[in-house]
Chains A and B, each alone.
Chain A
Amino acid sequence: MRRFFRLFKQDLVLAFRNAMMPVLVFLIVMMAVTVRFVLPKDWQPAETYYFVDQTEGAPYETVLRQSGVDAGKFLSDEEALRGVVRKDRGGIGVLFTGSKTHPRITIMHSDGVTPQGVNILKATLNAMVRRVTGSEGRQFSGESSRVRFLRPQAEPVPLNLTALPGLIAFEVIVLGFMFVAVFIFQEKHEGTIKAYRVSPGGKVAYVLSKTLAFAVLGSVYGCGVLASTMGRSVNYGAIVPLMALGAALYTLIGISVASFFQDLSEWLLPAVLLLTVNMIPAASMVFPTFSPRWLSYVPSYPAVFAIREVLFPSGKPILPLVGALVAESVAAYALCLFLTERNLMKEGRSWAPQGRFR
Chain B
Amino acid sequence: MIEVSHVYHDYTGEGRYAVSDVSFTISKGEVFGFLGPSGAGKSTVQNIMTGLLRLQKGDVLYDGKSVRRLGPDFFNKIGVSFEQPNVYEKLSGFENLAYYAGLFDVPTQDPMRLLDMVGLREAAHRRAGSYSKGMKQRLVFARALVNNPSILFLDEPTSGLDPALSGRIKDIIRQKQREGCTVFLTTHNMFVADELCDRVAFLNEGRIVAMDSPRALKLRYGERSIRVEYREDGNVKSRVLFTERAEDRALLHDLIDHGDVLTIHSQEATLEQIFISLTGRELA
* Chain A residues with a Cβ under 8 A of chain B: 2-3, 6-7, 10, 13-14, 17-18, 190-192, 194-202, 346-349, 354-355, 358
Measured between beta carbons, the chain A residues less than 8 angstroms from B78 are: 198
B90 to chain A: closest residue by CB: A17
Q: Does B107 belong to the interface (CB within 8 Å)?
A: no
Interface size on B, residues (CB 8 A): 35
Interface of A is mostly: helix
Q: Does B103 belong to the interface (CB within 8 Å)?
A: yes
CB of A2 within 8 A of CB of B102, answer yes
Measured between beta carbons, the chain B residues less than 8 angstroms from A195 are: 80, 82, 86-87, 100, 140, 143
CB of B11 within 8 A of CB of A18, answer no
One of B76, B86, B90 near A191 (C-beta < 8 A): B86
Measured between beta carbons, the chain B residues less than 8 angstroms from A6 are: 99, 102-103
Measured between beta carbons, the chain B residues less than 8 angstroms from A358 are: 11, 18, 43-44
B102 to chain A: closest residue by CB: A6
Q: A354-B11, A354-B12 known; 15 other A-B pairs, CB under 8 Å?
A: A6-B102, A7-B103, A10-B95, A10-B99, A14-B90, A190-B86, A192-B87, A196-B103, A198-B51, A199-B75, A200-B73, A346-B52, A348-B11, A355-B11, A358-B18
Measured between beta carbons, the chain A residues less than 8 angstroms from B52 are: 194, 197-198, 346-347
Q: Does B104 belong to the interface (CB within 8 Å)?
A: yes
Q: What distance in Å separates the Cβ of B181 from its nearest Cβ neighbour in chain A? A: 16
Q: What distance in Å separates the Cβ of A6 from its nearest Cβ neighbour in chain B? A: 3
Q: What distance in Å separates the Cβ of B202 from its nearest Cβ neighbour in chain A? A: 19
Within 8 A of A (CB), among B245-277: none
Measured between beta carbons, the chain B residues less than 8 angstroms from A354 are: 11-12
Q: Does B110 belong to the interface (CB within 8 Å)?
A: no
Per the bound structure, the CA–CA distance linking A355 and B54 in Å amounts to 14
Measured between beta carbons, the chain A residues less than 8 angstroms from B105 are: 3, 200
Measured between beta carbons, the chain B residues less than 8 angstroms from A18 are: 90
For the A-B complex, the count of residue pairs with Cβ-Cβ distances under 8 Å equals 82
Q: Does B53 belong to the interface (CB within 8 Å)?
A: yes
* Chain B residues with a Cβ under 8 A of chain A: 11-12, 18, 43-44, 47, 50-54, 72-73, 75-76, 78, 80, 82, 84-91, 95, 99-100, 102-105, 140, 143
A353 to chain B: closest residue by CB: B11
Per the bound structure, the CA–CA distance linking A346 and B53 in Å amounts to 6
Measured between beta carbons, the chain B residues less than 8 angstroms from A14 are: 88, 90-91
Measured between beta carbons, the chain A residues less than 8 angstroms from B88 are: 10, 14, 190, 192
Q: What distance in Å separates the Cβ of B91 from its nearest Cβ neighbour in chain A? A: 7
CB of B102 within 8 A of CB of A3, answer yes
Per the bound structure, the CA–CA distance linking A3 and B84 in Å amounts to 25
Per the bound structure, the CA–CA distance linking A349 and B56 in Å amounts to 12
The 3 closest A-B pairs by CB, nearest first: A191-B86, A6-B102, A200-B72
One of B44, B84, B91, B103 near A13 (C-beta < 8 A): B91
Q: What distance in Å separates the Cβ of A355 from its nearest Cβ neighbour in chain B? A: 6
Q: What distance in Å separates the Cβ of A274 from its nearest Cβ neighbour in chain B? A: 27
Measured between beta carbons, the chain A residues less than 8 angstroms from B50 are: 198
B98 to chain A: closest residue by CB: A6
Q: What distance in Å separates the Cβ of B84 from its nearest Cβ neighbour in chain A? A: 5
Per the bound structure, the CA–CA distance linking A285 and B241 in Å amounts to 88
Per the bound structure, the CA–CA distance linking A13 and B95 in Å amounts to 10
> Can you name 11 A-B residue pairings with CB atoms under 8 Å?
A6-B102, A6-B103, A14-B88, A17-B91, A191-B86, A198-B51, A200-B76, A346-B52, A346-B53, A347-B54, A349-B54
